[in-house]
Structure 1
Amino acid sequence: MLKALPALRSGAAQYARAYADHAGSSANLVIAFPVRLARDIITAVGVIADYKWSLRGLEGSQREEAKHACHARGADRLQRLCFANGGIYIKLGQHIVQLDHMLPTEYVKAMRLSMLDKCPVETYAQVARTISEDLGSPPDKLYASFEPVPVASASLAQVHRATGHDGRALAVKVQHAGLRDSFAADAFTVEVLVKAAHWLFPDFNYQWLVEEVKHSLPKELDFNAEAANAARCAANLASPLSSIEPGQVVVPAILPSLSSARVLTMEFVEGYEVTERERMLSEGLQPQEVANIVSRTFNDMIFQFGDVHCDPHAANVFVRKHQGKAQIVTNASSIDHLSLTGSEEERLELQGYAAQFAQQISALLWKVPQEVLLLLKTNDCLRSIDHALGQPVNTFVITARTCSKAISRHRSTVSPGFRSWWLGVRDSISIELRVLAMRVLSCAKYQDIDFHFITIFFD
């Protein structure tokens, strides 16, 4: 492990310079880094030593049985490390849940049981202190009422219900104390751990995950950016380019006068998770309609506007019955998590592929642009929602249609005229014929018939 450290000699200074705008980050790096790094090293050495010692000389079924026991103990150690260090460690623990097709089941289950439902909850005194520091007054002055017990807590923040002086129901998202100060130390210790693990186990290369954290987390810690994103999202969905009808999607309005970098106040909109299919049916809502709206919404974001909500899991997308119809509520104030759905056989098959091609997958994820990683994450989230609703619509068809419209619009803008119009018509016809062919073959259960002639005809 010592061989992995020389490459990181200048890392602390680089992080301190890169995140000097985070109040106290440089000083906190000096104080917090040794403690966090010590915990990391102790945990890593304990896990590695356990595997080396417990598996020595074992073969066949005995080795597999011992390996599962090592997985369970390693997961427990990692879980305790995440809670001890807090902050982005809990967020990374939640990310492990998303990798259930790549990592041992014991790690995924341990993280799912702890990281998703047991996020840290700060006292009301600390919450009031954060609000006072950022907004200049305590909660009892800024709001007509403020519930001291949070309705939800995530890795980076917790949410309280409140009432404005105008009587409006509000949701107040308050960032956990110290996260902005400790970010540099947290990011550096995670990179040390990942690079050391890669040196010991060459197949383990998750540097792409570290880069994603370094790129995205500073933005997530700035609630002003989230407020701006919410306003832009609402404006996009209300524009003529959107396929969303008025009233189908609502983005809770932000109250700028009661918001800051660490406090975000928005209107409170009732709803339930978009995956609650039985509740939809009991209210007379059709899962097919809900899935269609969700799919069209995010395809519009990707292909029409380029501004995408890249975390559309069930706890961030809600649905409610509004004026007799389904209305989607986007919510960025929820716990960040997602697990891959599907049968146990499918999960094991994917896990086998992931283990077989681990190096290639890591190398690919290291090379692809950050935007592509976010789109891949968005696609997985949408597939999870669609699966929970019984896969009532073909999201790939909606994606193809939306993408085709966006390309046609761009083509007409760059080169207006009959040719651009005809190419757009041709693309639309090609897509619809492909969809028709797929449906016919699916109904006839002739999945092995080659209908590549459609592609040839329209290419």
Structure 2
Amino acid sequence: MAVRLLKVSSLATAFVSSGFYLYNKDPNDLSIVRFGHAAATTAVISYDYLTAFRHVQYGTEAYSSLSSKVHRRSAERLRDLCCANRGIFIKVGQHLGAMNYLLPEEYTSTLKVLHSRAPQSTLEEVRRVIREDLGKDLPELFASFEEKPRGAASLAQVHKAVLHDGRTVAVKVQHPKVRKQSSKDIEVMELLFKAVHWLFPDFAFMWLVDEVKRNIPIELDFLNEARNAEKVALMLSHLTFLKIPRVHRDLSTNRILTMDFADGGEVSDRDYMKRHGINVNDISQNLGEMYSEMIFVHGFVHCDPHPGNVLVHKCPFSNKTEIVLLDHGLYQVLQPDLRLDYCHLWQALIRADMSEVERYSRRMGAGDLYPLFACILTARAWSSVNTGISSTPLTNSEDVKIRTNAALYLPQISELLNRMPRPLLLLLKTNDLLHGIEVALETRASSSSFINMSRCCVRALASHKKSTARSRMQWFRITAAERLNLWRISAYELYLWWVTILSWLPGC
């Protein structure tokens, strides 16, 4: 304990000296305040964890109760830091809030609010960005422009506006200081994460800093987001339930993105769906189909499906339910070998083929930690993975068990994430957010998502085999096998539907 307290003292000294090193150009620079706030919060949280358990025996009820309190107040301090420093801090906080498999519930529930608590830029700041990038003032570009943003995120905010020809659009404007601050914020985070790892060796989150370094410059380029939106709209044009707002290129720059305005409720809002007569099971099934297509068939994956970026809407004319996909700044491109390995792995998980689960998990870098990888990927206990996730209903006790065990396996989880191929980290984040939506909609026990995944895996693997077929006969055999497998999946889906109907009948 004395050694660790000495480390805290050394840590504070290092923070001060590093702060002057990072921000020695202007002593009045706001970055110094941001760094000081981050360093102080890190030191307070570290000290709390070091001293809170001195007189409590590990494994007792008192220890468990105290752990929950320390987790809660530390999470609240971290949340307040993210809200105060804004920008990249909120982005990282949102990422941590989705890690149900890694962090205690006190952290995930507290940090999830960051999706709806992002700070806003003033209207004057918005005007200035638009004037600098488009060369005109608001009245010259828009017939009307709502002063209050419809939504604010870590990097930008969205305003509803009407063009002079009467079309309604959504104007996404980057926060003016976020680009300049991002590089300094990443340096601060890297320093703090290394310091905490030095103090608590089990805390190994440098992979998260690496991801932020790689992805933030991409997300700050709104023309890249425009290209992604146009590409995915064309790629998934056959999904009639999906709506991607059209980009207005003449009103878009690196810091401004103008798209058709799309209204709707958040995908996790069950009350909204009930009021508008939207079937939550249909939404969950369509969401699963959409992401299965992206991941397994195309290898081009929207990696930020938090509820604010996925809206549901019932068209008043056709009465059809639509899913509106927003925020296309971050996509992951999967190389063919990784995508096909991922297909094989999910097929093995659905069939409970443990030898194949081990084989493809190892191919993806999991090594001897492949059981842990399978549990993280499916958000299920190892016993359920062994018996078949598609045939074993998820229970509340299993969910509680997963959360409880996550804290016990923190070092192994951190090691696993550090050795994973980088593209898989964003897929895990996507899985976490989709699991969170299923929990909110209470559809996680449904097998429809596994059926959609099975179909997409069959199609993806068959497409690859046909592309390498050496004869017409071989091509026809692969096609026949594909159709047979798809027919089997449809038959199983029909069987599940019939079982459900029978369960509703009296006396059954």
Same fold? TM cut 0.5: yes
Classify 1:359/1:185 alpha carbon distance in 2 versus 1 (closer, same or farther; 3 Å): same
Whole-Å separation in 1 of the counterparts to 2:144 and 2:99? 41
- Letter in structure 2 aligned against 1:366: N
1:360: Cα distance to partner? 1.9
Matched, 1:303 2:296: yes
- Find the partner of 2:418 among 366, 384, 408: 366
Distance 2:164 2:62 in 1: 66
Give the Cα separation in 1 of the matches to 2:191 and 2:208: 13
8 Å CA contact retained: 2:115, 2:308: no
Partner AA of 1:332 in structure 2: D
Q: Which amino acid aligns with 1:379?
A: N
- In structure 2, the partner of 1:399 is 453
Q: Secondary structure at the match of 2:308?
A: coil
Contact 1:151–1:160, Cα closer than 8 Å, also in 2: yes
**Rounded Cα–Cα distance in structure 2 between residues aligned with 1:147 and 1:443:** 50
Matching residue's letter, 1:123 = T
1:263-412 matches, within 5 Å, as: 263-277=256-270, 279-280=272-273, 283-322=276-315, 323-332=318-327, 345-387=397-439, 388=441, 390=443, 394-412=448-466
Task: Report the CA distance between 1:30 and its aligned residue.
Answer: 11
Select 1:413's aligned residue among 447, 459, 467. 467
Q: How does 1:142-153 map to 2 (within 5 A)?
A: 142-153=141-152
Task: Describe the superposition over 1:360-405 as per-residue Cα deviations: whole angstroms up to 9, x where unpaired.
Answer: 2112212222221222222333334344163555211111111211
Cα gap change, 1:402 to 1:53, in 2 (>3 Å): closer
Alpha-carbon distance, 1:149 to partner: 0.8
- Please tell me the root mean square deviation across aligned C-alpha atoms, in Å: 3.6
Is contact 1:318–1:329 with CA below 8 Å preserved after alignment? yes
- The answer for the alignment partner of 1:128 in structure 2 is 127
Deviation at 1:347, TM superposition (A): 4.3
Q: Deviations over 1:85-128 (max 9, x none)?
A: 22111122222321244323333343234x23322112111111
CA distance in 1, matches of 2:27, 2:176: 16
AA in 2 matched with 1:291? S
Distance 1:203 1:251, change over 3 A: same
Task: State whether structure 2 residue 111 is matched by structure 1 residue 111.
Answer: yes
The answer for the alignment partner of 1:21 in structure 2 is: none
1:420 CA drift (Å): 3.2
Q: Quick one: structure 1 residues 294 and 207, their matched pair in 2 at CA, closer, same or farther if it must change by over 3 Å?
A: same
Cα pair distance change 1:79/1:375, threshold 3 Å = closer
Which of 37, 44, 47 aligns to 1:46? It is: 44
Q: In 2 relative to 1, CA 365–4 (structure 1 residues): closer, same or farther, beyond 3 Å? A: farther
Change in 2 beyond 3 A, CA 1:285/1:105: closer
The TM-score with structure 2 as length reference comes to 0.73
Give the aligned partner of residue 71 of structure 1: 71
Query: Matches of 1:278 and 1:357 in 2, distance apart?
Result: 36
The structural deviation recorded for 1:251 is 0.8
Identity %: 35
Q: CA deviation at 1:183?
A: 0.9
1:249 maps onto 2:242 in alignment: yes
| Alignment-mate amino acid for residue 88 of structure 1 | I
In the TM superposition, residue 332 of structure 1 has moved relative to its aligned partner by 1.5
| More RCO (CA 8 Å, sep 6+) | 1
Distance 1:30 1:442, change over 3 A: farther
Does the CA contact (< 8 Å) of 2:98 and 2:432 recur in 1?
no
Task: Tell me the CA shift for residue 167 of structure 1.
Answer: 0.4
Residue identity opposite 2:204 in structure 1? N
From the superposition, tell whether residues 110 and 317 of structure 1 become closer, same or farther in structure 2 (CA, over 3 Å): closer
- 5 Å matches for 1:175-190? 175-190=174-189
Q: Give aligned pairs, total.
A: 421
Residue 477 of structure 2 is matched in structure 1 by 422
1:93–1:384 CA distance, 2 compared to 1 (3 A):
closer
Is the Cα–Cα contact under 8 Å of residues 134 and 262 in structure 1 kept in the other structure? yes
Shift of the alpha carbon at 1:227?
0.7
Equivalents in 2 of 1:94, 1:119: separation in Å? Answer: 10
Contact 1:271-1:320 within 8 A present in 2 as well? yes
Separation (CA, whole Å) in 2 of partners of 1:82 and 1:284: 37
Which residue identity does 2:448 align to in structure 1?
A: N
| Unmatched runs of 5 consecutive residues or more in structure 1 | 17-24, 335-339, 445-459
Q: How far has the Cα of 1:439 moved from its partner?
A: 8.8
Distance 2:153 2:101 in 1: 24
- Write the letter of the residue equivalent to 2:426: L
Q: CA deviation at 1:319?
A: 2.2
Taking the aligned partners of 2:285 and 2:103, their CA distance within structure 1 comes to 32
- Partner Cα distance (2:485, 2:322) in 1: 32
**TM-score scaled by length of structure 1:** 0.80
What is the deviation of 1:320? 1.9
Query: Deviation at 1:326?
Result: 1.8
CA contact (8 A) 1:222 1:261 kept: yes
Aligned match of 2:190: 191
Contact 1:291–1:389 (8 Å) recurs in 2 = no
User: SS of the residue aligned with 1:137?
Assistant: coil
